[in-house]
Every structure is written in structure tokens, then in C-alpha cells.
């Protein structure tokens, strides 16, 4: 178990860093948009000083755009905050839909860079488990990252969490072929996470599904 924790610890930092970098990139873009709109307001003021009238409608549009970006930043920071607090307690009761939603939101830029659409299917009823939120987020990200590389022409990965008789499953639906005996997947990092989370991985390329089987409680 010690070796697994070592792998997970090192790679966990890598995961945390990757997500943080993506978030900071998004925030930089938002700041850039606000900066340009503030600059445009300043341009209009200078033009007004020179006697060129400003259309009130333009000011309203700019104000709306700035407000939209502030809202966008607020959502990103909210997700970042949730993500950061996932390391507060090693084991927690987790509502899977919410946890998956955070991972998806944090992964949107990575998906967009590959032209992939991520789709979270609504849960029929809330699915809760007792597990490690940070390790589970890391594992979900690794599965998402892998399936995003194998979507074929559909360019979509759908994710759904369901309760089953002996625990829960998280199903990733893609359209391509991962290969059940892939040399690179599951990686050492994925294998270590699977062990620590008492999870099992099932790849069904025929159905285009990757399924994570998780126990209802890590403490059981």
C-alpha cells in the first residue's frame, strides 16, 4: 500500500497543478475581456471629450459584458474552491453527481482544446458514497482524459453515476476503442488509485463504455 500512496501523492500534486493551471488560464482570459471592455469605455470617454457623442446603448452593452465575465469568474472560483476543499478530509460522504460536475467543469478547457463535448447525464436519484473526494476526482479525471482520446467522430463523452446492488458505478460513454489490453492504460497512477479506492475498472470497447465500480463505503 505504501508504494501506491507514493505514486498517488506525487501524481496527485501533478493533477492539482494541472487543474490549477487551467483555472488560472481561464481567469486570465476573463481579466483580458474585462480589461478590453474597460479600455473601450475609456476610449469612448476620450472620444466624448473630443465631441464625439457616446450612444447609451453601447455603454449598456459594455456594462452587461463586464457583469457576465464577473459571473463567469465567480463560477470558476466557486469550482476551484470546491476542488481545493476536497483535500480537507481524507474520507467524506460524497454526492457523486456534484463531484463529477466539478471535475467536468474543471476539465472543460481540456475538452475544448480537443474539440470534445462533455455531457453529464442527470442521476435518477442522488448517488452518495463514502470515499476520498480528492482521489476520486483524480481517478475520474484520468478516466475522462483517456476516454476523451477515444471518442471517434462523435467527439462526446457522457458520464453518469448510478447505484448498483453492491456499490455504485460511474459510466463513461465514448465511441472509440481504448483496447482492453492497452499498454498505457490503466497507468501505474490509475492502478494505484483503483487499489486505494477499492475500485475496479471495466473497459467495454464494443459498447464504447468505461465503467468504474466503487464500493458504497471505503470504510466498510
Where on the chain is the footprint of other proteins (CB under 8 A)?
24-26, 28-29, 31-37, 39-40, 43, 47, 65, 68-69, 112-115
Nearer to other proteins, 110 or 121 (CB): 110
Q: How far is the CB of 9 from other proteins (least distance, A)?
A: 24
Nearer to other proteins, 111 or 197 (CB): 111
Nearer to other proteins, 40 or 123 (CB): 40
Q: How far is the CB of 29 from other proteins (least distance, A)?
A: 5
* C-alpha closest to that of 213 among 154, 147, 176, 162: 162
Nearer to other proteins, 69 or 86 (CB): 69
Q: How far is the CB of 212 from other proteins (least distance, A)?
A: 27
Q: How far is the CB of 21 from other proteins (least distance, A)?
A: 8
Q: How far is the CB of 155 from other proteins (least distance, A)?
A: 10
Nearer to other proteins, 40 or 191 (CB): 40
Amino acid at each position: 500500500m505504501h508504494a501506491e500512496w507514493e505514486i498517488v501523492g506525487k501524481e496527485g500534486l501533478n493533477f492539482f497543478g494541472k487543474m490549477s493551471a487551467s483555472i488560472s488560464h481561464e481567469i486570465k482570459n476573463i481579466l483580458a475581456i474585462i480589461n478590453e471592455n474597460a479600455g473601450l469605455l475609456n476610449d469612448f470617454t476620450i472620444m466624448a471629450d473630443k465631441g464625439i457623442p457616446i450612444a447609451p446603448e453601447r455603454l449598456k452593452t459594455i456594462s452587461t459584458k463586464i457583469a457576465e465575465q464577473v459571473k463567469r469568474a465567480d463560477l470558476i472560483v466557486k469550482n476551484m474552491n470546491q476542488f481545493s476543499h476536497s483535500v480537507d478530509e481524507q474520507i467524506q460522504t460524497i454526492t457523486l453527481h456534484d463531484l463529477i460536475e466539478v471535475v467536468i467543469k474543471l476539465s472543460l478547457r481540456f475538452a475544448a482544446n480537443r474539440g470534445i463535448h462533455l455531457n453529464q447525464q442527470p442521476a435518477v436519484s442522488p448517488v452518495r458514497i463514502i470515499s476520498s473526494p480528492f482521489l476520486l476526482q483524480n481517478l475520474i479525471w484520468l478516466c475522462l482524459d483517456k476516454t476523451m482520446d477515444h471518442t471517434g467522430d462523435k467527439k462526446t463523452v457522457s458520464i453518469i453515476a448510478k447505484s448498483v446492488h453492491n456499490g455504485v458505478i460511474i459510466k463513461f460513454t465514448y465511441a472509440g476503442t481504448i483496447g482492453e489490453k492497452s499498454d498505457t492504460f490503466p497507468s501505474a497512477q490509475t492502478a494505484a488509485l483503483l487499489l486505494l479506492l477499492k475500485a475496479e475498472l471495466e473497459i467495454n470497447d464494443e459498447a464504447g463504455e468505461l465503467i468504474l465500480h466503487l464500493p458504497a463505503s471505503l470504510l466498510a
